[in-house]
Copies of this chain bind each other. A is one copy, B any other.
Amino acid sequence: MASYYNFISDSFNEIKLPKEPANLYDPIRNMLAQKGKLIRPELCLLACDLFNGITKNAIYPAISFELLHTFSLIHDDIMDQAELRRGKPTIYKEYGANSAILTGDALFAHAYQYLLQYKSIGITKIIHLFTTTAISICEGQQMDMDFEKKVKIKLDTYLQMIRLKTASMIAACLTTGAIIANAASEHQNYLYEFGINVGLAFQIQDDLFDVYGEADKVGKTNGQDIASNKKTFLSVKALEIANKEDLKTLKHYFSKTTFDFNEKFEAIKSLYDKYEIKAIAEQQIAHYYEQAYKHLNAIPVPENKKAPLIEFVEQLMYRNF
């Protein structure tokens, strides 16, 4: 997918965890073995490379963010009572909630321990950023959980949630790369803003895929968000602009937990179509993209140095994030 994948993947395979207690570490080992696309370390290293900053040590902060992400997935899966993750049973499903709580906690701590193997430029700043990111994803997850109890939320509130839950980590990974490369603090900030905007665009794209994506390409079934009444850019926007009658219909379907899937999906999609939600979402994505590139453009490195990062980000837009 991109230039650092093998380096990251090999390093990921070499992560050393204690053997005992086996009931704590075996679930973590199994979870890490199903490594995902390792997007976060890749973003970190690509950002680092932008400033010619790659050193072997950079892998520690890069991968620590992936471990932090994995910890959050383990705990999210308990809260969502999710049975599958990356095609395999979740730790929650396979080992039970108590085990998933404790393995998540241990992985959170090990993420710090892995990060602390990095002992070079900016370590304190990176630990700060790492910690702020951990706090952000907890806050975002809480907002997301709060949304479940509400039918209608404000679009700004939704955007704040995805900023905290998704975009902040993208931004932190990119910024960490810049810190490792000893980039000027101004340029670190540009990359942070690039990351926030790219992260917001990714999430809205992901929301779009659920309804308008080609299932094969995206790698997941359409309509999952609709089926589970999950708040997305599409549903929040539609509920905001629908007329009284359509609002009633949307609320009706979004409060159903037993339903005919096709009927529900088609009913909601036809209202999305009526209100041109797809076009509105695409405009919002374009807006965030523009903001993202404005910040990237402000970084004075040659265009050919930026190409790998841009290419990677473009590829991600067409995948399940």
Interface hit among A46-54, A96-104, A195-203, A272-280: A96-104
Asked if A106 and B145 sit within 8 Å, CB to CB, the answer is no
A230 to chain B, nearest CB (A): 16
A6 to B113, CA, bound (A): 33
Interface of A is mostly: helix
Asked if A116 and B131 sit within 8 Å, CB to CB, the answer is yes
Specify which chain B residues have a CB less than 8 angstroms from the CB of A142 in the assembled complex: 21, 23-24, 102, 106
Q: Which residue of B lies closest to A133 (CB)?
A: B109
Asked if A135 and B123 sit within 8 Å, CB to CB, the answer is no
Asked if A139 and B98 sit within 8 Å, CB to CB, the answer is no
- In this complex, the interface size class of chain A, counting residues with CB under 8 Å from chain B, is 35 or more
Asked if A113 and B132 sit within 8 Å, CB to CB, the answer is yes
Is A237's CB within 8 Å of the partner chain B?
A: no
Asked if B75 and A146 sit within 8 Å, CB to CB, the answer is no
Show 29 residue pairs from A and B whose CB-CB distance is below 8 angstroms, ordered by the A residue.
A18-B139, A20-B139, A21-B139, A21-B142, A21-B143, A23-B142, A23-B146, A24-B139, A78-B98, A79-B98, A79-B101, A79-B102, A97-B97, A101-B101, A102-B138, A105-B105, A105-B138, A106-B135, A106-B138, A106-B142, A108-B134, A109-B138, A112-B112, A112-B131, A113-B135, A116-B124, A116-B131, A119-B124, A123-B124
Write the residues of chain A forming the contact surface with B, with a CB cutoff of 8 angstroms. 18, 20-21, 23-24, 75, 78-79, 97-98, 101-102, 104-106, 108-110, 112-113, 116, 119, 123-124, 127-128, 131-132, 134-135, 138-139, 141-143, 145-146
